[in-house]
Structure 1
Amino acid sequence: MTSPPTALAWATADPYAKALHTGQGPLFLRRTDGWLLPLEVERWCAQADAVDRTVLDHCEGTVLDVGCGPGRLVAELAARAVPSLGIDVSEAAVAHTIRLGGQALRRSVFDPLPGEARWDTVLLMDGNVGIGGDPHALLTRVAQLLKLHGLLIAETAPVDVDERVHVHLTDAHTTTGAPFPWARLGTPALLRYAHGWEQERQWSAGGRTFVALRTRTASNSADPPNRTAVISSQRPRNPSGESPVADR
């Protein structure tokens, strides 16, 4: 499956790398009509907060954090000794995650990934239900990554919105790259796209909203039995010396 324009645009967006380096905004997604959506850089770059930890309490087994950003959730899972991996298209985000002690790879969710059809939980946090601007395609891809009856935990917009747009990433002064597709989904919209999924629960905490869904059918996209999940040139630095989580 080919990575959408989102991956290249986000990965090469200098304002994003700068914000992760400093741990501060401002940083926005800017629609073509000039409307700005603030991004919570300071929260992303901080340690997992109480709401994050509550979400992670619901995770089962091995966890794949899609669009892990600077890695606060992967780092928290690592501290809990939960086998986990973050993926992000941003080199700066992956490097930050590894510095925190988490494991991460520079990949788009639409690229080939370790452990396909064998993950117990996939996370789509911090607006990442918008990746690619096509909710149906994203949910289809996540289903391919999860094992049968695997768990998706997604953070949705706290308002009832179903919007597909093209955006730039900007700090309000610098904008680089071409616009890329993005989506904003409230809980009702996400559930409308979740054909073939079973709703487990939905909840709100700290002004944020979440949905837990389970796959109903098995994927046929599992790695071939003899395929190495992560080849040596792709292995992130692992301070603990343990095997990469996806080699199982």
Structure 2
Amino acid sequence: MNPADLYGLGLRGDEPGLVLREADGRTGPVPIATWLGPLTPADHDVLARAAAPVLDVGCGPGRHVVALARRGVFATGVDVSPVAVEVARARGARVIHASVFAAIPGAGTWGTALLLDGNIGIGGQPVRLLARLRALLRPGGEILAELDAPGTASRTASVRLEGAGGVSEWFPWARVGVDGIHAQAPLAGLRVTETWEGAGRWFARLAAAR
């Protein structure tokens, strides 16, 4: 099954117990309820740093895009899941149904790119993803990324989604720790300007290297 399709079933409530399994057997829950729920103080703290216009990469059901719009900040989400796009638009979010590696409107003009909820893992190649976002940003634009806790080794794994009604195809996914981003960022032409922790979650602000 296509991962986006199984993820969509989770968003619709038809697969409430989705898990993410790595090829080595490790598993973890897919926090659908969190993504459909209200923002936390840590989310608000990140969004307070976002300068318009904002591109939310892998926006899912759009909670960050909606929250930014309520702040008066122009924001657009991008996601490959048709169900996520449908849900996000129903909640009032402006969303593009596409891969971030495809043509994105406004290339070179975005003020901030968001990589929250582990989305630095998209595509399994963090440096490629970060370089792509750097190309989408305007001069002086920034990336706000959510990362794993200190001490987490940066790695790429084959993963799949599993639910009661199906199992997805394997796909590549990356993990990057907050300390590891200092090695990854320069390879994408970026520098780390800030790292912080909020309620057990870790984040970094990245800007183009001087």
**What TM-score comes out, normalization by structure 2 length?**
0.93
Alignment of 1:206 onto 2:199: yes
Which amino acid in 2 is paired with 1:118?
A: T
Q: Which residue of 1 aligns with 2:166?
A: 174
Partners of 1:71 and 1:92 lie apart in 2 by 11
Q: Which residue of 1 aligns with 2:55?
A: 64
Q: CA deviation at 1:27?
A: 1.9
Higher strand fraction (1 or 2): 2
Partners of 1:194 and 1:127 lie apart in 2 by 16
Partners of 1:73 and 1:170 lie apart in 2 by 26
Q: Which residue of 2 aligns with 1:10?
A: 3
Contact 2:182-2:191 within 8 A present in 1 as well: no
Contact 1:64-1:121 within 8 A present in 2 as well: yes
Alignment of 1:164 onto 2:125: no
Cα distance per residue 1:145-194 (max 9 Å; x no partner): 11112110000012422111111111265203x21111011112222110
Partners of 1:120 and 1:192 lie apart in 2 by 24
Matches within 5 A, 1:28-67: 28-67=19-58
What's the RMSD between the two structures over aligned residues?
A: 1.7
- The secondary structure found in structure 1 opposite 2:93 is coil
Contact 2:15-2:164 within 8 A present in 1 as well: no
List alignment gaps of at least 5 residues for structure 2: none
Partners of 1:55 and 1:24 lie apart in 2 by 29
Matches within 5 A, 1:1-248: 9-11=2-4, 13-14=5-6, 16-22=7-13, 25-159=16-150, 160-171=152-163, 174-176=166-168, 178-195=169-186, 196-216=189-209
When residues 194 and 23 of structure 1 are mapped into structure 2, their CA distance, relative to the original with a 3 A threshold, is farther
When residues 173 and 33 of structure 1 are mapped into structure 2, their CA distance, relative to the original with a 3 A threshold, is farther
Q: CA deviation at 1:37?
A: 2.4
- The secondary structure found in structure 2 opposite 1:198 is strand
Cα distance per residue 1:88-117 (max 9 Å; x no partner): 000111111111111001111100101101
**What TM-score comes out, normalization by structure 1 length?**
0.79
Larger Rg: 1
Which amino acid in 1 is paired with 2:63?
A: R
Partners of 2:15 and 2:45 lie apart in 1 by 24
Which amino acid in 1 is paired with 2:158?
A: H
Contact 2:15-2:163 within 8 A present in 1 as well: no
Q: CA deviation at 1:69?
A: 0.5
Which amino acid in 2 is paired with 1:84?
A: A
List alignment gaps of at least 5 residues for structure 1: 1-7, 218-248
Partners of 1:214 and 1:193 lie apart in 2 by 13
Partners of 2:155 and 2:191 lie apart in 1 by 23
Which amino acid in 2 is paired with 1:192?
A: A
Percent identity over the alignment is 37
Matched length: 207
Which amino acid in 1 is paired with 2:206?
A: L
Displaced runs of 4 or more, over 4 A: none
